[in-house]
Every structure is written in structure tokens, then in C-alpha cells.
Amino acid sequence: MPNYVVEVNDLHKVYPDGKEALKGLSFNVKEGEIYGLIGPNGAGKTTTLRILATILEPTSGEARIYGYDVKTQPEQVRKHLSYLPEEAGAYKYLTGIEFLEFIASFYAKNEEEKRRMIQEAWKISGLGMRIKDKIKTYSKGMLRRLLIAKTLMVHPKLAILDEPTSGLDVINSTRVRKIIKKYTREYGITVLLSSHNMLEVDYLCDRVGIIHEGRLIAEGTPGELKKKYEAENLEEVFTKIVGGEEMWEVIS
Amino acid sequence: MGSDFVIIFMKEMKSIIRDPKILITMIIVPVVMTSLMYGIMGTMTTQAVQQAMKPGGKVLLVDLDHGSWAQNLTKYLISEKYTLIKYNSVDEALKNYDDALCVLVIPKGFSENLTRGVRAYVQIYYKIRGVSFTSMMTGFKIYGAINKYADTISKEIIEKAGLSPEFVSSPVNGTSNVVIGNTIIKNVDPSQVTGPLLMMGVFVPMIIGLLAGFVAQLSATSIAVEKEQKMLETLLTLPLSRFSLIAAKVTAAFIVSLIGGGAYFVVLGWYFSQVTSMGETTSGGAASSAVLSALMKAVGMQTPVALVVAGFGTLFLALGMALVLAMFVDDVRSAQIISGYIIAPLMISIFIGMFINISSMPPAQQTILAAIPFINIVFIMNLGLAGNVFAELVAAVSSWIYAGIVLYIASRIIGTEKIFTMKLFKKRAKRRTRGFHLLTR
């Protein structure tokens, strides 16, 4: 039995155009915790999540999920995770319910379980009767809620959420955060998420990893980080660590 | 729960049927519009020909001869249900043309010429009043009536001279026999044999080429749709085999193309049968089926079988190639463009193949050419005629080998990150602001 759900050791990723996205990233995620990866644009957050979701292959280093290597055992890895990409979409010409049914069919062991998943997703999404409309008629917020619902309804052992509240207004964002917290606690789902929203990270995450230029430069609980960097909030921690204050000075 | 293949396949079918981009560009425009066009053309052509073949109509007659043969011609036209309205001059007749078929002028000396055994002439004035297929064909039918009359009197003249009209009209005649390989098909017109041969050697490969175009476009679109609708990342992290994903997409594209293409060719076939069967008799059809069975005996049953096998292999090859190329584009429009890169060389290959006389080449050369994809479907009929069964086998098997290789490559690519990191059409790089966003929302 592995000690961690996610184990990342000295991970490197170089894209075909020569861009080095990850330069020896290492971190672990414990069972049942919500771990947040934060960092400026281009820090390597999405690349990390894509490698863990078996979409990209690491150039070197090791990444394991429940002990399975993402590079050599991707089929095993996929059985344990549910992934929400930052720029995810859905099939426009399916209805919300048909889309959920499509996703649930890959995870459910029987019809009853499939029905349970769909009912739960319907509730999570809060779409009401609009669930029976074609997805092309949904607003951005409705689509994101549907996608959150499809990610959580399968009760994955690990949910990888890339910017879960991306594009949502304050009310929808708050709702989605509450849903994530409630469902992950209720079903013991481990979550690895990335976000630019420090309020979100502070509210949701048990531990936070700050990533900059492909490396982990700080890690700890939000409280530990605030204490260590003598900051009032995570936003201040972040700017202190990645040098944002200097940038603001230059701009002003 | 359920097979991955079935789940993806059902989703594909729903998406194809509901997506207007696919439905309009792939099904409605080529199938419905073309069917409608051919349907209208076929019906109108049939009606026009039937109208033209129906005897009778109004003819304005200017009889300047008034002799016995002129009266004979007049009586003949009346017996053929033509309504004759007499005028004294061409000008007068033309002024009163209205809905007449033509103005028929029997010039002075018409009867005298015929009596003396000299060729006589009539003049026909046909007034063009518009561009209409029906009116033009109807107007020209008077020429048929005059020719028929000429045949009748020719027969009478020959009989009066104590000769046989059949003998005089064709004193020497030949019966043709066609030899294919070791088989001799007796008493058959070569055109009756070349017709089915052209059908198998040219028409069928062209149908396969067009179908391959349908298949390539649909399969390329089905992959591009995943990227365009931002579903590919999600799809590739689901617990399903990449092979099932490819197989389901391929099958859906194939079935829809076959339905679409099938409907298209049913209408096309109906149109051609309508046009070609005008005036054809039942005995002609029976003769053709006899020729066809003799032909099959001559080339062997392996030839049509090889053609069908190689045809399906070619379809899967085009499909696989389109899939591979579509993996490196981001949207449906690029996928449609890229499928053109397959369709164009495919159709050019088929056309080139039609001008290569493979039958006259040595067997080894025939076998090498039979292994060239796309073009080999045109060669199969000629290989059958040349009796090179091995080359036919090579054509059929090689098409499937190529298809298998390409589909394997497709499933390998979709299993790697190349589907995300490789691009055929690079987008103009956006200026990206370095740094980070203000982190409150």
C-alpha cells in the first residue's frame, strides 16, 4: 500500500519546441487531502496536472498515482482518477443528461450505479430541468457546473481539477467550492487542484504547493505558509515568494 | 458497464446526426441535394424523351409540289397522327408558327425526282423559341418521321425492282464473337461486353473513390470535433481503451458514409438507368445478363471478389489516413481541408490508373503495380482479363495491409501526447504577458 496517493519525484518536461516546462518538480499528496498547486502563468501547473492525468508524458523523473507509474501504467492510473481540464468542453449536441450518461457509462458497474451517478451529478450541477436541454444552449457557468458534476459523480479516488472555478462568477464559484469541499469530505476523495484564486485555495486546500518556473519553491498548509512568510493571506505569501511585489512596484 | 466501443459508437452516431456542420456538409448537401438534382433531371429527361417519342403534333405544311409523292408523304404523316395545316408560303407559315413542331416544305419537283429515281429533298424550318430540353427534343421528332418515311418508300422501290430490301440495305454483314482469355462469347456485340467491363473497371473504382472521400471527411471531422469541442483531454483520461475509441469512431464514420454514399449512388444509378433504358427492350436486358454470366465465367469469380475486398481495404486506408492527419489539427474546418489532401491524390490515382494498360505488361510488373494503394482498385478488372490471379490477390490483400498499418499508427498516436503537442497548421503565436494575474476574484 503506497504512502501517498500522488508521488511526484524530480519531474522534468521538455516540449518538442524545446520549452522546459518542469525542471525537477517534486511533491506528494496524501489520501483524502485537498492539495493546491499555485503559481504564476507558465509556472508548469497545467503541465503537471496533464502528466498526472496521463495526457502528457514526462521527459524524465517519476510520477505515480496509487503506486502506478503514469508513463508505464496509464490504464491503471486512469481507473483511479477523474480529470477536469481548465478549458474543458462537452459535446454540444448532447443534452446535459446524455453527456452525464455517456461519462457514467465508463465508470458504473451496473445500471443502478449509473442512475445513482446521474442523479448525483444532476443535484451537484444545480441545472434543474435545463439538464434535459442541449449543452450548446448552456452558459459558461452552467457548463462548468456540469463538468464539475461529471468529475465528482463517479466518486474517484483522485480528482484532478485544473482551475475548477475558471470563468465562473462569484456566486457560481462559491457554490462550486462548497460542492467540492462537501463531496470530497463525504466520499474521502483526494483532490489535486490548481488555481489562481488565493481565496479559493485558502478555503479549499489542506496543503498548498507553490510552483515557479517548473520547480516547487514552497509547500505547507495555508496557515503554515502565512506564518512562515509573515503574511496576512496567501496572496501576500505568493507575491513575496515569486517576487510579484517588485513587479507591482515597477508597474505603479 | 457496457462496452467502450458501443458507448463511443452511440455517442458518435448521435453527434453526427445532430451536428448540423456534419449533417449539412456531409449528408444533406452531397446526398439530398445531389439526389434531388438527379431526381429532377431524370424525371425531366424521361418526360422529354417520352414526349419526343410520342408521335403526332402540329406541322405547318407548305406543299409547292402537289404531286403524287407529295400527297403520299402527306398521307403518311397524317397516319402517324401529325396534324397538318397547309400554307402557301414559308413566310406565311412562319408568321402562324405558334405551338407548331415545324414548317415542312415540299419543294417543287419532289414527286418528279422520286418518280425518276433521283433523290428528293424536303425542307424543315424549326423555330427556336426558348432553351428548353423538352421543346427542342419535341421539335426534332419530325426528322425521325421523315427518315421513317424514307425507309418505307426505299423498301417499296427496292421490292418493285425485284430485289430484297434487307440485301440492298446491307449486302455484307458480320456477326461478332468476343474472346476473353480462353472463353469465347458468341454472337455478341463487343459493346455489350465492354459495358459491364467498364462498369467493373471504371465505374466501381470511381464509386469506391468517392465513398473513400466521404469516409475520409467524416472520420477527420469526428476527431477534430473532439478537439474543437474541447473534449479530447477529458476523453483521453477516461478509463477506456484507445483502440475502442478509434474503432468506434471509424465504425461510425464508415456506417454513416456507407448510408450517405449508398443513398447517393442509388439515386445516381436510378438516374442512369432511367436515361439508358429509354427505348430499351426486355430482350436487350436478357441478352446483357447472358453476356454478364459468360463474362464472369471468363474472368473468374475471384475478380469481383478481389474488387470488393480491395475496395473496402481502400476505404479503411483513406479513413485511417484522414484520422492520422486530423489528429494534428484543432478544428473541423482544418480537418475538412486536410481530408482533401487524401481525396485529391486518391481520385487522381484512380484517373491515372484508367489510362494505364496493365494487361499488356509482364506478370511480374502487373503484380508490382497491383501493390500500389488506391490505383490498384482500377487494375483488378484488367488483371482478371489478363488471368493474373496472384496479382489480384496482391491488390486485395495489400489494401488491407496498408489500412491495418495506418489504423495501427492512428491508435498509437492517440495513445501518445503527440496528439496534443504536434500541429500541422500552426496558429499565429499570441503575445503572452509574462508574469501573473492579480490573484483576487
Nearest to B38 by CA among B264, B293, B198: B264
Residues of chain B above pLDDT 70, percent: 84
Do residues B102 and B124 touch, judged by C-beta distance below 8 A?
yes
Chain segment B291-318, per-residue pLDDT in tens: 777 777 777 888 889 999 999 999 889 8
Q: Is B362 exposed, middle or buried (0-12, 13-18, 19+ CB in 10 A)?
A: exposed
| Distance in angstroms (rounded) separating the CA atoms of residues B389 and B391 | 5
**pLDDT higher than threshold 90 for residue B64:** yes
- Ramachandran angles phi, psi of A27, nearest 5°: -170, 165
Nearest to B11 among A91, A107, A235 (CB): A91
Q: Which residues of A touch B224 (CB under 8 A)?
A: none
Position A54: which residue type?
T
Strand A60-65 relative to strand A6-14: parallel, antiparallel, unpaired? antiparallel
Q: Which of A22, A52, A55 to mutate to test the interface with B (most CBs of B within 10 A)?
A: A55
Nearest-by-CA chain B residue for A41: B436
Q: Report residue A107 as a C-alpha cell.
A: 465508470
Structural domain for A229, as ranges: 6-251
Give a yes or no: residue A1 inside a domain: no
**pLDDT higher than threshold 70 for residue A2:** no
What is the CATH classification number for the domain harbouring A169? 3.40.50.300
Nearest to A89 among B7, B231, B441 (CB): B231
pLDDT of residue B431: 43
Do residues A84 and A49 touch, judged by C-beta distance below 8 A?
no
Q: Is A43 exposed, middle or buried (0-12, 13-18, 19+ CB in 10 A)?
A: buried
Nearest to A105 among B7, B231, B437 (CB): B7
Do residues A118 and A143 touch, judged by C-beta distance below 8 A?
no
Look over chain B and give the mean of its residue pLDDT values, rounded to a whole number.
81
Chain segment B22-34, per-residue pLDDT in tens: 677 666 666 677 7
Q: What is the distance in angstroms between the Cα of B252 and the nearest Cα belonging to chain A?
A: 16
Residues of B with CB under 8 A from a CB of A: 1-2, 4, 7, 11, 14-15, 18-19, 229-231, 233-234, 236-241, 416-417, 420-422, 432-437, 439-441
- Ramachandran angles phi, psi of B241, nearest 5°: -80, 145
Average pLDDT over every residue of B90-113: 90
State the sign of the Cα–Cα–Cα–Cα dihedral B360, B361, B363, B367: negative
Do residues B86 and B61 touch, judged by C-beta distance below 8 A?
yes
pLDDT of residue A70: 94
CB contact under 8 A, B18 and A93: yes
Give the three-state DSSP class for B209.
helix
pLDDT of residue A221: 94
B66: left (phi over 0), alpha (psi -120 to 50) or beta: left
pLDDT category of residue B136 using cuts at 50, 70 and 90: low
pLDDT category of residue B275 using cuts at 50, 70 and 90: low
Average pLDDT over every residue of B336-360: 84
Domain ranges of chain B: 4-43+180-421, 54-166
pLDDT of residue B434: 41
pLDDT category of residue A117 using cuts at 50, 70 and 90: very high
Give the single-character DSSP code of B26: I
Q: What is the distance in angstroms between the Cα of B19 and the nearest Cα belonging to chain A?
A: 6
| Distance in angstroms (rounded) separating the CA atoms of residues A157 and A11 | 22
| Distance in angstroms (rounded) separating the CA atoms of residues B60 and B94 | 8
pLDDT of residue B274: 65
Q: Report residue B181 as a C-alpha cell.
A: 482469355
Do residues A63 and A70 touch, judged by C-beta distance below 8 A?
yes
**pLDDT higher than threshold 60 for residue B425:** no
**pLDDT higher than threshold 80 for residue A3:** no
Q: What is the distance in angstroms between the Cα of A66 and the nearest Cα belonging to chain B?
A: 15
- Ramachandran angles phi, psi of B437, nearest 5°: -75, 160
| Distance in angstroms (rounded) separating the CA atoms of residues B247 and B253 | 10
Give the single-character DSSP code of A62: E
Pick the residue with more confidence: A15 or B431?
A15
| Distance in angstroms (rounded) separating the CA atoms of residues A212 and B144 | 91
pLDDT of residue A98: 95
pLDDT of residue B139: 66
State the sign of the Cα–Cα–Cα–Cα dihedral A72, A78, A80, A85: positive
Pick the residue with more confidence: B408 or B297?
B408
Specify which residues A62 forms β-bridges with: A9
Helix (H) or strand (E) holding A36: strand A34-38
| Distance in angstroms (rounded) separating the CA atoms of residues B413 and B223 | 12
Give the three-state DSSP class for A184.
helix
pLDDT category of residue B339 using cuts at 50, 70 and 90: confident
**pLDDT higher than threshold 90 for residue A29:** yes
Q: Is B427 exposed, middle or buried (0-12, 13-18, 19+ CB in 10 A)?
A: exposed
pLDDT category of residue B7 using cuts at 50, 70 and 90: very high
pLDDT of residue B71: 92
pLDDT of residue B441: 32
Do residues B225 and B330 touch, judged by C-beta distance below 8 A?
no
Give the single-character DSSP code of B24: I
pLDDT of residue B134: 64
- Ramachandran angles phi, psi of B4, nearest 5°: -55, -40
Q: Which residues of A touch B235 (CB under 8 A)?
A: none
pLDDT of residue B357: 84
CB contact under 8 A, A244 and B238: no
Give the three-state DSSP class for B347.
helix
Q: Report residue A222 as a C-alpha cell.
A: 495555508
Tally of structural domains, chain A: 1
Q: Report residue B171 as a C-alpha cell.
A: 449486302
| Distance in angstroms (rounded) separating the CA atoms of residues B222 and B326 | 9
pLDDT category of residue B283 using cuts at 50, 70 and 90: very low
Distance of CA B363 to the CA centre of its chain: 31
**pLDDT higher than threshold 70 for residue B368:** yes
| Distance in angstroms (rounded) separating the CA atoms of residues A101 and A82 | 15
**pLDDT higher than threshold 80 for residue B370:** yes
CB contact under 8 A, A108 and B233: no
Do residues A61 and A25 touch, judged by C-beta distance below 8 A?
yes
pLDDT of residue A214: 92
Average pLDDT over every residue of A83-111: 93
Nearest to B239 among A92, A106, A110 (CB): A106
Q: What is the distance in angstroms between the Cα of B424 and the nearest Cα belonging to chain A?
A: 14
Q: What is the CATH number of domain B54-166?
A: 3.40.1710.10
Helix (H) or strand (E) holding A81: strand A81-84
pLDDT of residue A1: 47
pLDDT of residue B99: 81
Nearest to A106 among B15, B238, B420 (CB): B238
**pLDDT higher than threshold 80 for residue B135:** no
Give a yes or no: residue A123 inside a domain: yes
Kindly report each contact of residues A178-187 with a partner whose C-beta sits within 8 Å and lies 24 or more positions away, as own/partner.
A179/A124, A179/A148, A179/A152, A180/A34, A180/A148, A180/A152, A180/A204, A181/A34, A183/A124, A183/A152, A184/A32, A184/A34, A184/A152, A184/A159, A187/A155
**pLDDT higher than threshold 60 for residue A244:** no
Average pLDDT over every residue of A234-242: 85
| Distance in angstroms (rounded) separating the CA atoms of residues B56 and B33 | 36
Nearest-by-CA chain A residue for B418: A56
**pLDDT higher than threshold 50 for residue B433:** no
